[in-house]
Amino acid sequence: MPLAGIFLISCSHKTVVERTTYFPKQIEAMSNSINKQNVWVFIMAGQSNMAGRGIVEPKDTVPNRRILSINKDGQIIIAKEPLHFYEPERTGLDCGVSFAKKLIKKIPDTVSILIIPTAVGGSSIRQWLGDSVYRSVKLFSNFLAKVESAKQNGVIKGILWHQGESDANENDIPLYKQRLGLLVSRFRTAVGNSELPVLLGELGSFSDNPANFNLINKAIQEYAAEDKNSGVVPTKDLKDKGDHLHFNSKGQRIMGKRFAKAYLRIT
């Protein structure tokens, strides 16, 4: 029994070290004031596949001074993955920096991109609508606070949404499209832009319950077909990290590029 206990602790420690090996050792805060008219803000919202569960690699932490994010204290920093900080024991590579790297090639050189993370793993769309506290985060209130911070530092240009795994059950699937429409409306009201682009990521095709995941994706597609200011980000060809739930690192980077393409198509 003692040997088994030691083995489990050792394995657990190895897992943590592997996950955080290439997390950035230094984060640089922006010391100079920025011209908010030249800062485009995008808010990341949803659950774990937006919060990121991929392995961060060195290339994910190479800084670009035109790509910004925030730290847990709300300071604007030079962005390096991982961007999300709400679940330090779980967080990993998300699609935010990849999105910004793709988009920054298509916008004026004078513009910087500020990515603000608000996603919390495991959260359902019902919990977002109900402003529930989930994993110590009051979901919609936190979103509202980040919106107000974003308005002080730039111009909010869009929302990246990836969520639905927690709703892929017989009770919530029939309500997903309606709930998504209501939440998108609340997002836009909070930002003060009824035509704000909202980009919707599909669930992965690697689930142990593919029928229900497909039904969530169908609801997402049906909603987007009725909302000219939304776009669907396809994920059917992307791979999981081995858990049949979360996109691997390559998938996260590809998804980020597709979010950028979806934004460009709308705008």
Q: What does the pLDDT look like over 198-227, one tens digit per residue?
A: 999 999 999 999 999 999 999 999 999 999
CA 232 – CA 217 distance, rounded (Å): 9
Structural domain count of the chain: 1
Confidence of residue 3 (pLDDT cuts 50, 70, 90): very low
Q: Which residue range is the domain that position 253 belongs to?
A: 2-266
User: Which of the four pLDDT bands, split at 50, 70 and 90, describes residue 80?
Assistant: very high
Q: What is the mean predicted confidence (pLDDT) over 145-170?
A: 98
85-98 pLDDT, tens digit each: 999 999 999 999 99
Neighbours of 40 (CB within 10 A): 21
Look-up of token digits 């390559």: 250
Q: Which pLDDT value is given to residue 10?
A: 31
Assign residue 227 the CATH number of its domain.
Answer: 3.40.50.1110
Helices and strands: H and E segment counts in the chain: 8, 9
User: Could you tell me the pLDDT band of residue 26, with boundaries at 50, 70 and 90?
Assistant: confident
- How far apart are the C-alpha atoms of 80 and 220, rounded to whole Å? 30
Q: Which residues of 145-157 are buried (b: 16+ CB within 10 A; e: fewer)?
A: ebbebbeebbbbb
